[in-house]
């Protein structure tokens, strides 16, 4: 490295925007970047092996993350957040909510869930009949019932849950994690986003985009129903010979020009791509899975969406066991409109959720069980999230619920978290978080902590600020950590 | 243009080096350093050599001619040199080649892209809907043209902030180039946060692009590192407080000429209308109460099963389906068809029961055009037990018996006046076939109350329009009014964006309470309270919950005198579905009966307008000849006005009256504090504006201040440097603050800034200086010893190699393959498949022909969604300003460039072209492919290796390999 000769007084300045950026051989500069003078930390990344596994800040409890991302805003009061008072006072006006205007306008009276709640698991946690199979796994789950969002619109809400910012243009959580930690299997992408069989979510690419991080760390969007773009060449034998010729051409060029790490990095990227061409189809090949597994996930379900999501669940497990660092599994898509392809139940909640519930329930429960059976939960953190919750009232003149960012539920499972456990609470009706109020940044501070990362030290310089996944907020939710 | 600006350095008051921030120090021309090795060197080389010598390094030798030409073309135009340039190039004539490159039409396209990155330009809204902005491209063209013509940079700056003040409408696309959340809600917290985000984006884009200062970091608190107070942020925000996202008319030169002409014509029209008013006396449309009954109407009933429908011939001639009518006849009222019977002689085939009472003038019509139609069909009236023969009509001809020649195609007869009829409630009209057996036909009939008009045609009002419809009636004292909708123009629940009720010019609907028949729910755009909220457009409208029907009732606490109603479906003109066609407006007083004051029955078919001319009724006119002349003039004026194209629009923002700007505690719009006057950060200078300064004045003042600030000069010369060398002298080109990088060559930066100002802010002047330096022309080859001291060549001991950007890569592939479409300017091409979804979904296209072979700067830039093949090469997503692109190397890029249909197709195209040129000789084919892609002949070893590949897999495989090679993908 060359910093000694620089007129630049600080290493920070050197390692600033130019890191990956315009500084030509960007990646090369990072090779030595680690602990900066001011205590910030940057991963040490070699341009030839940008995905090499990197050490975290402290001992990691989880090596990888599965994010089950239900888009359209799942109603917490119809799933995980049991509110006896809401049952009791259904049909009455919500106290203190006179004239309350939410996203779509006025609200009607309190409305109990169309689904009964009952105690489940050994812990006896009450959850609803909408998701009975996931409900049967409550002993594995660590609920956060007091989440809040900063917006009540889906696009910004997904941005917030996906990137820590309501605005467009910020790196996704998976990009931050693969930037920090690289990955364990060099033959697969570090970060895979599996869109729902029905299409992409509201904020689409933002959820897995690199924002201003190097493009290397963006999620590769593919699923059991959608191929990875440009993975296959026209002809295996021809591709091999062309690639071999290309490598010889690049080696001749390199020899002529003297060792240059950026040239080497491009050569290496073709080797990596070639390995990916073999290993991605291998991971995608579900045919070798036993029938019992297919049945358990529901890949044979007559409903195409159900079967498609089940295949994505099964693929998620295969990616995780092959060492992919961050798997983002979507349930719900935007393209078909409000509430039809996602959890946005404004008008006819019962009808809409009666379709969506089973699609999520069996496959996701099978995935969780499968991860547990195979021991993957020991070092995999599962996070089930949605962009915000829904109102305990029905909308005026409708049989569905409006958006509610003031209180909603997410759950974690697997490595590093206490289970069964419930943290935080909403008020008697499920309207507002009132106990241990938690933000999305707190959730991510905790997730990063479990991955061995200090959310305040994992930064990237952009337009004048050392940016973080957690913006200027976030605290680790110590009570939910399994410190063992 | 910048009248107030002096280009003299004296005008640049020395800036205090506030807080020790180097970038705010005074800008003076630094002396050239003395360097031992070459005292005659180019000034730039002397600055660079001084630092190199200090570090014990030497520069590299000048690159080869091959490398130089390729570098010059790629860096300056984003395209490789063509064959002619390669043949003619002579590095001893370097300055001429520099000039030639700067004059290339591709220069502006290349350098505009860098600027577009910086200002987060994209042609969609971003966020959830990511809706296209089809009129955002003029800004892109304006930036290209500005670079191409070397528009002085101070003017370039001013125009982007206040172009509307200096006749540069497209330039303000800069202000609103960023994302815009169009999902609005009645929730005030959401709405105010959205607005604050828009304003913050404008402050951020402006301060980083021009000043290289991150003023937006001071939104919530004083800047943590730089001398920018929180108040400074809001001072700048106040400048933009009246800027809204959206489009406005684009007055380019042609548009301005049109506008002037339109103004003259409109003036004359007003004069003629005034004169006509004086001449004609009884002017202006009133709601007339005519009733139009078509053969599709239930009031018209067949007595004998019809044989069929005669479909009117298409066309605009008399009686054809699109007949627009003229002063002597109405447009086609008959819809698409008439009804016909193959009937025995003298048979009653049809009855019409209008359900009207009173004295009416009656017009009838039929299907004409065939010689076979009954020459003597009869119409009679049965009313109050009386039968009265009204007319015998020749159905072979048009109304009035004219033009009896058979056209041999089905047409509408037009209206024939039958006369006055006295109707009782039970009255019916009966149509009888002719005296011989054969076809008899029926179509629309019209009843007009006697006294409404005595014109030869019924006075029908314009058809309902999607935008706005007006009903006038005798003043009525009412405490309630209702609008009942009975049918819409297309199936669907009816929609009303606003119902206005006038007492004089006072819209009393705003003070009324409302009830509706039932509301479409679930979409905040459509709410019952939007009916009378004073806001127009689909986004603030009411929709009924019943298909084809619905009502709205307004009620007043105290009675109001009303005489006019205006209603529309979408006054913003985006929608005209859900439009009421059949409707009744009724009023009442206390508990009296509902009184009908207007209906849709006296209207022409939906969307048909007769225009102003038809509005004049000429009863009792004293001087018909004068009126006729004026009407002819008016008709001519209308025609000319209609022929002037409407002003094109540009997504350049809308400027509205400015609300007060408050400092927001913690940047939270719900916590406003003291009012802040528009201005600039105190540490940088002073712009005195009144807190109540008009909107445009604010931006003009800021723009003029920015355009003359020494920091502006330092920042732009650094950006130029960065795009020439890959890294700026300041490595953080949008951050000249403490968090940014200090300059590697501070004196060189100032020297370039002074050169810029003294040249009249000519960017090309600075680029000439850079390109003329030996530093820029040196080899990019690695030297291990030098790399050990300065791996990144920040001291410029070699030309730092780097990868081509996505645009240069794609454009170069097309140029080599000979498929590049060099068409400049205009609307962009789409990288995505046409949308078929409920919402805009972006599916990358995989096949590229036609305009998608244009340069990538002309691709419609979709926010967030990357182009399918090259987006992955670090193309910024348009979410935030991108001052420096990443240069990642990833396996997904390798897959894209190696396997994408685009690269495979272009490899094939290139191979075919080479084969067409050189024939079947494999040696010549290989040589031709190397020349086209790498601009050189292959060495021996390469040639034999390549021939083997071609023999096994064809020439396209060689092209594919070379497009992927480091030599092609990196700047030499």
Q: What does the pLDDT look like over B256-270, one tens digit per residue?
A: 788 888 889 989 988
Q: What's the alpha-carbon Rg for chain A, to the nearest Å?
A: 23
Average pLDDT along chain B: 88
Inspect the interface and report whether the beta carbons of A170 and B864 lie closer than 8 Å.
no
Residue B208: DSSP 8-state? I
Check residues B17 and B609 and name the one with the higher pLDDT. Answer: B609
- Write out pLDDT tens, residues A179-217: 999 999 999 999 999 999 988 888 888 999 998 898 889
Q: What Å distances lie between residue B924 and B929, B930, B946, CA to CA?
A: 8, 10, 11
Are A332 and A259 contained in the same domain? no
Are A154 and A68 contained in the same domain? yes
Report if residue A459 sits inside a domain. yes
All residues at 6 or more sequence positions from B650 whose CB lies less than 8 Å from its CB, including other chains:
B135, B136, B138, B139, B169, B170, B173, B247, B248, B249, B250
Inspect the interface and report whether the beta carbons of B746 and A7 lie closer than 8 Å.
yes
pLDDT at A12: 34
Going by their DSSP bridges, the two strands B649-650 and A465-467 should be labelled as unpaired
- Write out pLDDT tens, residues B280-317: 544 334 445 788 888 888 899 999 999 999 888 888 88
Look up residue B70 and give its two tokens.
């390729």
d(CA B634, CA B777): 69
Are B304 and B425 contained in the same domain? yes
Domain ends where: B666, B682, B708? B708
Which residue does chain B place closest to A31, by CA atoms?
A: B791
pLDDT at B10: 30
Are B425 and B485 contained in the same domain? no
Inspect the interface and report whether the beta carbons of A170 and B890 lie closer than 8 Å.
no
CA angle B624, B627, B628 (to 5 degrees): 85
Report if residue B31 sits inside a domain. no
CA angle B778, B780, B782 (to 5 degrees): 125
Tell whether the model's pLDDT for residue A5 goes beyond 60.
no
pLDDT at B622: 57
Are A405 and A348 contained in the same domain? yes
Among A95-99, B439-443, B698-702, the least confident range: A95-99
- Write out pLDDT tens, residues B333-359: 888 899 999 999 999 999 999 988 888
pLDDT at B613: 43
**B838 close to A (CB below 8 A):** yes
How large is the average pLDDT for residues B569-591?
88
All residues at 6 or more sequence positions from B819 whose CB lies less than 8 Å from its CB, including other chains:
B853, B906, B909
Q: Which residues of A touch B738 (CB under 8 A)?
A: none
Q: Which residues of B touch A467 (CB under 8 A)?
A: none
Report if residue B837 sits inside a domain. no
Inspect the interface and report whether the beta carbons of B839 and A334 lie closer than 8 Å.
yes
* Phi/psi-derived region of residue B792, left when phi > 0, alpha when psi is between -120 and 50, beta in every other case: alpha
Report if residue A340 sits inside a domain. yes
Inspect the interface and report whether the beta carbons of A205 and B726 lie closer than 8 Å.
no
Contact B943, B925 (CB under 8 A): no
- Write out pLDDT tens, residues B896-937: 999 999 999 999 999 999 999 999 999 999 999 999 999 999
Under the banding of pLDDT at 50, 70 and 90, the label for residue A265 is: confident
Report if residue B569 sits inside a domain. yes
**Token pair 């009808």 is at which residue?**
A351
Are A263 and A121 contained in the same domain? no
Inspect the interface and report whether the beta carbons of A153 and B740 lie closer than 8 Å.
no
* Phi/psi-derived region of residue B611, left when phi > 0, alpha when psi is between -120 and 50, beta in every other case: left
- Write out pLDDT tens, residues A289-308: 999 999 999 999 999 999 99
Are A203 and A319 contained in the same domain? yes
Tell whether the model's pLDDT for residue A36 goes beyond 80.
no
Tell whether the model's pLDDT for residue B747 goes beyond 60.
yes
Under the banding of pLDDT at 50, 70 and 90, the label for residue B509 is: very high
- Write out pLDDT tens, residues B20-76: 789 999 999 999 998 876 667 899 999 999 999 999 999 999 999 999 999 999 999
Q: Which residues of A touch B965 (CB under 8 A)?
A: 246, 249-250, 253
How large is the average pLDDT for residues B638-656?
87
- Write out pLDDT tens, residues B238-248: 999 999 999 99
d(CA A414, CA A61): 10
Q: Which residues of B touch A152 (CB under 8 A)?
A: 185, 187, 190
Backbone angles phi, psi at A467, to 5 degrees: -80, 150
Average pLDDT along chain A: 88
Are B200 and B212 contained in the same domain? yes
d(CA A43, CA A45): 6
**A231 close to B (CB below 8 A):** yes
Are B355 and B408 contained in the same domain? yes
Are B566 and B429 contained in the same domain? no
**A462 close to B (CB below 8 A):** yes
pLDDT at B454: 67
pLDDT at B285: 40
Contact B529, B575 (CB under 8 A): no
Under the banding of pLDDT at 50, 70 and 90, the label for residue A338 is: low
d(CA A446, CA A450): 6
- Write out pLDDT tens, residues A342-373: 999 998 899 999 999 999 999 999 999 999 99
pLDDT at B595: 86
Inspect the interface and report whether the beta carbons of B898 and A239 lie closer than 8 Å.
yes
Are B245 and B264 contained in the same domain? no
How large is the average pLDDT for residues A423-435?
97
Q: What Å distances lie between residue B417 and B328, B355, B374, B445, B600, CA to CA?
A: 13, 20, 19, 10, 21
Under the banding of pLDDT at 50, 70 and 90, the label for residue A441 is: very high
Tell whether the model's pLDDT for residue A25 goes beyond 60.
no
All residues at 6 or more sequence positions from B736 whose CB lies less than 8 Å from its CB, including other chains:
B21, B23, B211, B212, B213, B711, B714, B715, B730
Are A167 and A264 contained in the same domain? no
Q: Which residues of A touch B740 (CB under 8 A)?
A: 13, 16-17, 464
Q: Which of residues 895-914 of B touch A (CB under 8 A)?
A: 895-896, 898-900, 904
Domain ends where: B417, B449, B481? B449
Domain ends where: B708, B738, B755? B708
How large is the average pLDDT for residues B545-561?
91
Q: What is the CATH number of the domain that holds A152?
A: 3.40.720
Under the banding of pLDDT at 50, 70 and 90, the label for residue B623 is: low
Tell whether the model's pLDDT for residue A237 goes beyond 60.
yes
Are A15 and A136 contained in the same domain? no
Domain span at residue A13? 1-35
How large is the average pLDDT for residues B444-471?
81
Q: What Å distances lie between residue B228 and A10, B6, B218, B687, B712, CA to CA?
A: 22, 27, 7, 15, 17
Q: What are residue A481's DSSP bridge partners?
A: A417
Report if residue A49 sits inside a domain. no
- DSSP codes, B138-207: HHHHHHHHHHHTT--HHHHHHHHHHGGGTT-GGGGGGTT-S-------S-HHHHHHHHHHHHHHHHHHHI
Number of domains, chain B: 5
Residue B410: DSSP 8-state? -
d(CA B636, CA B283): 20
Inspect the interface and report whether the beta carbons of B864 and A270 lie closer than 8 Å.
no
**B179 close to A (CB below 8 A):** yes
Are A410 and A263 contained in the same domain? no
All residues at 6 or more sequence positions from B533 whose CB lies less than 8 Å from its CB, including other chains:
B498, B540
Q: Which of A5, A24, A464 sits opposite B727 (nearest CB)?
A: A24
Inspect the interface and report whether the beta carbons of A245 and B969 lie closer than 8 Å.
no
d(CA B552, CA B514): 7
Q: How many helices (H) and strands (E) does chain B have?
A: 25, 29
Look up residue B437 and give its two tokens.
């057996």
Tell whether the model's pLDDT for residue B822 goes beyond 70.
yes
Number of domains, chain A: 3
Nearest to B590 by CA among B552, B553, B554, B558: B558
Domain span at residue B381? 291-449
Are A12 and A108 contained in the same domain? no
Tell whether the model's pLDDT for residue A15 goes beyond 50.
no
Are B503 and B422 contained in the same domain? no
Are B476 and B572 contained in the same domain? yes
**What ipTM describes this predicted complex?**
0.84
Are A269 and A142 contained in the same domain? no
Report if residue B573 sits inside a domain. yes
pLDDT at B837: 67
Are B210 and B228 contained in the same domain? yes
Tell whether the model's pLDDT for residue A234 goes beyond 80.
yes
pLDDT at A457: 92
Report if residue B928 sits inside a domain. yes
Going by their DSSP bridges, the two strands A403-404 and A421-423 should be labelled as unpaired
How large is the average pLDDT for residues B463-491?
87
Tell whether the model's pLDDT for residue B798 goes beyond 90.
yes
**Token pair 């076809």 is at which residue?**
B439
Q: Which of residues 103-122 of A touch B (CB under 8 A)?
A: 103-105
How large is the average pLDDT for residues B423-437?
91
How much of chain A exceeds pLDDT 70, in percent? 90
Nearest to B135 by CA among B858, B829, B650: B650
Inspect the interface and report whether the beta carbons of B739 and A16 lie closer than 8 Å.
yes
Are B210 and B299 contained in the same domain? no
Are A423 and A443 contained in the same domain? yes
Are A399 and A413 contained in the same domain? yes
Report if residue B4 sits inside a domain. no
Report if residue A322 sits inside a domain. yes
Which residue does chain A place closest to B963, by CA atoms?
A: A246
- Measured in angstroms, the CA of B423 and the nearest CA of chain A are apart by 46
Nearest to B121 by CA among B104, B138, B97: B138
Check residues B170 and A49 and name the one with the higher pLDDT. Answer: B170
Report if residue A119 sits inside a domain. yes
Q: What are residue A64's DSSP bridge partners?
A: A380
d(CA B769, CA A184): 49
């Amino acid at each position: 490295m060359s910093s000694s000769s620089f007129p630049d007084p600080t290493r920070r300045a050197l390692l600033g925007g130019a890191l990956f950026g315009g500084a030509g051989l960007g990646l090369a500069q990072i090779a030595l970047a680690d602990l900066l003078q001011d205590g910030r930390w940057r991963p040490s990344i070699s341009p030839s092996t940008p995905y090499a596994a990197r050490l975290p800040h402290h001992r990691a409890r989880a090596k990888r993350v599965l994010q089950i991302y239900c888009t359209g805003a799942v109603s917490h009061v119809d799933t995980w957040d049991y509110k006896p008072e809401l049952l009791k006072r259904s049909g009455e006006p919500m106290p203190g909510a006179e004239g309350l205007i939410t996203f779509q306008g006025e609200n009607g009276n309190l409305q109990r869930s169309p689904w009964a709640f009952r105690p489940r698991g050994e812990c006896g946690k009450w959850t609803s009949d909408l998701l009975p199979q996931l409900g049967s796994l409550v002993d594995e789950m660590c609920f956060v019932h007091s989440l809040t969002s900063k917006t009540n619109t889906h696009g910004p809400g997904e941005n917030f849950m996906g990137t820590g910012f309501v605005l467009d243009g910020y790196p996704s959580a998976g990009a931050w994690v693969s930037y920090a930690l690289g990955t364990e299997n060099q033959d697969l992408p570090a970060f895979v986003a599996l869109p729902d069989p029905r299409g992409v979510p509201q904020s689409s690419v933002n959820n897995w985009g690199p924002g201003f991080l190097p493009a290397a760390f963006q999620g590769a969007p593919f699923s059991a129903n959608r191929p990875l773009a440009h993975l296959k060449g026209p002809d295996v034998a021809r591709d091999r010979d062309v690639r071999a010729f290309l490598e010889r051409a690049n080696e001749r060029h390199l020899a002529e020009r003297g060792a240059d790490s950026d040239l080497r990095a491009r050569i290496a990227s073709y080797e990596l791509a070639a390995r990916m061409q073999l290993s991605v189809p291998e991971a995608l090949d579900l045919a070798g899975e036993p029938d019992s597994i297919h049945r358990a996930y529901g890949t044979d379900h007559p409903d195409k969406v159900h079967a498609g999501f089940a295949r994505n669940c099964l693929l998620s497990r295969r990616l995780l066991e092959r060492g992919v660092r961050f798997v983002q599994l979507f349930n719900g898509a935007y393209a078909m409109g409000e509430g039809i392809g996602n959890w946005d139940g404004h008008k006819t909640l019962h009808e809409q959720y009666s379709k969506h519930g089973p699609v999520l329930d069996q496959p996701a429960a099978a995935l969780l069980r499968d991860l547990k059976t195979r021991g993957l939960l020991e070092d995999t953190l599962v996070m089930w999230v949605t962009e915000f919750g829904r109102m305990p009232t029905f909308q005026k003149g409708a049989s569905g619920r409006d958006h509610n960012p003031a209180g909603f539920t997410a759950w974690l499972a697997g490595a590093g978290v206490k289970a069964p456990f419930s943290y935080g609470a909403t008020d008697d009706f499920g309207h507002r978080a009132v106990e241990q109020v938690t933000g999305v940044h707190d959730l991510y501070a905790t997730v990063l902590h479990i991955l061995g990362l200090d959310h305040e030290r994992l930064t990237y310089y952009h337009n004048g600020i050392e940016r973080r996944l957690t913006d200027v907020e976030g605290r680790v939710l110590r009570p939910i950590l399994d410190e063992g | 243009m910048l009248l107030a600006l002096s280009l003299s350095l004296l005008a640049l008051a020395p800036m205090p080096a506030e807080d020790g921030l180097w970038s705010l120090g005074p800008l003076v021309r630094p002396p050239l350093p003395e360097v031992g090795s070459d005292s005659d060197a180019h000034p730039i080389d002397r600055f660079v050599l001084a630092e190199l010598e200090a570090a014990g390094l030497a520069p590299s030798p000048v690159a080869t001619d091959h490398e130089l030409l390729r570098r010059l073309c790629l860096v300056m135009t984003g395209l490789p040199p063509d064959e002619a340039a390669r043949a003619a190039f002579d590095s001893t004539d370097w300055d001429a080649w520099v000039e030639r490159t700067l004059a290339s039409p591709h220069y502006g396209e290349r350098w505009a892209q860098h600027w577009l990155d910086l200002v987060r330009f994209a042609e969609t809204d971003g966020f959830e809907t990511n809706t296209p902005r089809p009129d955002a491209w003029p800004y892109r063209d304006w930036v290209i043209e500005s670079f191409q013509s070397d528009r002085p940079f101070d003017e370039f700056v001013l125009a982007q902030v206040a172009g509307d003040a200096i006749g540069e409408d497209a330039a303000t696309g800069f202000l609103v180039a960023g994302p815009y959340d169009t999902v609005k809600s009645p929730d005030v917290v959401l709405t105010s946060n959205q607005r604050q985000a828009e304003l913050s984006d404008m402050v951020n884009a402006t301060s980083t692009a021009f000043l290289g200062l991150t003023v937006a970091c001071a939104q919530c608190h004083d800047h943590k590192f730089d001398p920018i107070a929180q108040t400074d942020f809001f001072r700048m925000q106040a400048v933009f407080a009246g800027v809204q996202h959206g489009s406005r008319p684009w007055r380019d030169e042609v548009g301005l000429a049109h506008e002037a002409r339109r103004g003259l014509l409109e003036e004359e029209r007003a004069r003629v209308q005034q004169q006509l008013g004086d001449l004609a006396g009884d002017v202006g449309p009133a709601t007339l109460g005519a009733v139009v009954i078509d053969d599709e109407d239930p009031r018209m009933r067949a007595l004998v099963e019809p044989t069929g429908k005669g479909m009117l011939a298409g066309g605009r001639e008399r009686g054809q389906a699109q007949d627009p009518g003229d002063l002597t006849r109405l447009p086609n009222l008959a819809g698409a068809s008439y009804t016909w019977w193959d009937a025995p002689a003298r048979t009653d085939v049809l009855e019409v029961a209008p359900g009207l009472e009173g004295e009416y003038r009656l017009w009838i019509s039929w299907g004409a055009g065939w010689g076979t139609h009954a020459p003597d069909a009869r119409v009679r009236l049965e009313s109050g037990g009386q039968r009265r023969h009204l007319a015998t009509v020749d159905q072979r001809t048009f109304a009035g018996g004219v033009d009896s020649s058979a056209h041999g195609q089905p047409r509408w007869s037009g209206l024939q006046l039958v006369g006055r009829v006295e109707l009782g409630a039970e009255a019916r009209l009966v149509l009888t076939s002719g005296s011989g057996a054969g076809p008899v036909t029926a179509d629309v009939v019209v009843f007009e109350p006697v006294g409404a008009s005595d014109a030869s045609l019924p006075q029908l009002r314009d058809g309902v329009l999607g935008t706005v419809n007006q009903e006038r009636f005798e003043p009525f004292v009412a405490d309630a009014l209702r609008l009942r909708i009975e049918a819409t123009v297309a199936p669907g629940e009816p929609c009303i964006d606003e119902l206005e009720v006038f007492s004089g010019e006072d819209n009393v609907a705003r003070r009324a309470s409302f009830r509706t028949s039932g509301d479409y729910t679930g979409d905040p755009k459509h709410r019952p309270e939007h009916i009378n909220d004073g806001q127009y457009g689909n986004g603030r409208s009411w929709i009924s919950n019943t298909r084809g029907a619905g009502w709205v009732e307004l009620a007043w606490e105290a009675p109001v005198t009303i005489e006019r109603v205006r209603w529309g479906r979408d006054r913003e003109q985006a929608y005209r579905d859900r439009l009421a066609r059949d409707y009744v407006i009724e009023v009442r007083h206390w508990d009296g009966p509902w009184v009908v004051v207007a209906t849709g029955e006296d209207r022409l078919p939906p969307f048909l307008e007769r225009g102003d001319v038809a509005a004049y009724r000429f009863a009792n006119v004293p001087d018909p000849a004068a009126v006729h002349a004026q009407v002819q003039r008016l008709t001519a004026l209308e025609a000319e006005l209609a022929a002037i194209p409407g002003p094109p629009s540009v997504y350049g923002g809308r400027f509205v009256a400015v609300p007060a700007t408050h400092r927001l505690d913690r940047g939270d719009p719900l916590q406003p504090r003291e009012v802040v006057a528009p201005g600039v950060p105190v540490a940088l200078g002073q712009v005195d504006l009144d807190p109540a300064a008009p909107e445009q004045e604010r931006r003009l003042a800021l723009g003029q201040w920015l355009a003359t600030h020494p920091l502006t000069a330092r920042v732009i010369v650094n950006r130029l440097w960065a795009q020439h060398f890959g890294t700026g002298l300041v490595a953080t080109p949008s951050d000249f603050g403490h968090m940014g990088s200090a300059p590697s060559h501070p004196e060189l930066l100032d020297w370039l800034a002074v050169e810029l100002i003294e040249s009249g802010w000519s960017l090309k002047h600075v680029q000439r200086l850079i390109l003329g330096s030996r530093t820029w022309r040196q080899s990019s080859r690695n030297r291990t010893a030098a790399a050990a001291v300065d791996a990144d060549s920040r001291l410029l001991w070699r030309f730092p190699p780097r990868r081509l950007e996505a645009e240069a890569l794609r454009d170069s592939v097309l140029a080599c393959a000979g498929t590049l479409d060099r068409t400049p300017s205009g609307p962009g091409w789409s990288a995505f498949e046409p949308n078929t979804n409920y919402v805009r979904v972006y599916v990358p296209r995989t096949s590229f022909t036609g305009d998608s072979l244009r340069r990538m700067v002309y691709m419609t830039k979709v926010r967030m969604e990357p182009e399918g093949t090259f987006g992955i090469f670090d193309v910024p997503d348009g979410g935030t300003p991108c001052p420096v692109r990443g240069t990642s190397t990833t396996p997904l890029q390798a897959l894209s460039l190696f396997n994408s249909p685009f690269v495979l197709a272009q490899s094939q195209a290139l191979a075919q072209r080479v084969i067409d040129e050189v024939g079947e000789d494999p040696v010549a084919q290989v040589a031709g492919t190397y020349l086209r892609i790498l601009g050189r002949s292959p060495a021996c070893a390469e040639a034999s290796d390549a021939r083997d590949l071609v023999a096994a897999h064809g020439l396209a495989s060689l092209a594919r390999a070379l497009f992927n090679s480091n030599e092609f993908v990196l700047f030499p």
